[in-house]
């Protein structure tokens, strides 16, 4: 954990509940009073513009919507991880989330693969949601 040298999110009042839930092993998204689940985190609902929401647990299941495999390190912290994938996951509940597919070789990742969330504690404060095949 102490050797994690990739960029990390800045914790804010707005995103802290998301990261605290991840640290607890639960994927939570904002659910507007209109019922719309949203990600990325935002102050206002993109559907109705309301600022009223609650943090709602979601299943953590989805499919690989798209992905790319990086062979160049665009930040020095990623050099040791090359090659690595960056995937856009379509969650069953609707929102899409950028992450990584872990537990399989990069050439085994395919669009449409069924995945589920797994949590990677990279620092004492930050646990990153990643996805593994299901």
Per-residue pLDDT tens for 48-73? 999 999 999 999 999 999 999 999 99
What parts of the chain have a pLDDT lower than 50? none
Phi, psi of 63 (to 5 degrees): -135, 155
Residue 56, classed as helix, strand or coil, is: strand
Do 31 and 56 contact (CB within 8 A), yes or no? yes
pLDDT at 1: 55
What is the spatial distance between Cα 17 and Cα 121, in angstroms, rounded to a whole number?
Answer: 16
Whether this prediction's pTM lies above 0.85 is answered by yes
pLDDT at 48: 98
Sequence-distant (6+) residues with CB within 8 A of 86 are: 67, 68, 70, 98, 99, 100
pLDDT at 3: 84
């Amino acid at each position: 954990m102490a050797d994690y040298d990739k960029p990390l999110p800045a914790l804010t009042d707005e995103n802290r509940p998301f990261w605290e839930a991840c640290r607890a092993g639960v994927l939570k998204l904002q659910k507007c009073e209109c019922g719309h689940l949203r990600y990325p985190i935002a102050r206002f609902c993109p559907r109705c513009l309301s600022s009223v929401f609650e943090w709602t647990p979601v299943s953590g299941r989805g499919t690989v919507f798209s992905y790319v495999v990086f062979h160049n390190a665009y930040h020095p912290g990623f050099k040791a991880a090359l090659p690595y994938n960056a995937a856009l996951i379509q969650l069953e509940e609707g929102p899409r989330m950028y992450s990584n597919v872990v537990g399989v070789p990069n050439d085994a990742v395919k669009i449409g693969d069924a995945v589920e969330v797994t949590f990677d504690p990279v620092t004492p404060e930050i646990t990153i949601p990643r996805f593994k095949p299901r």
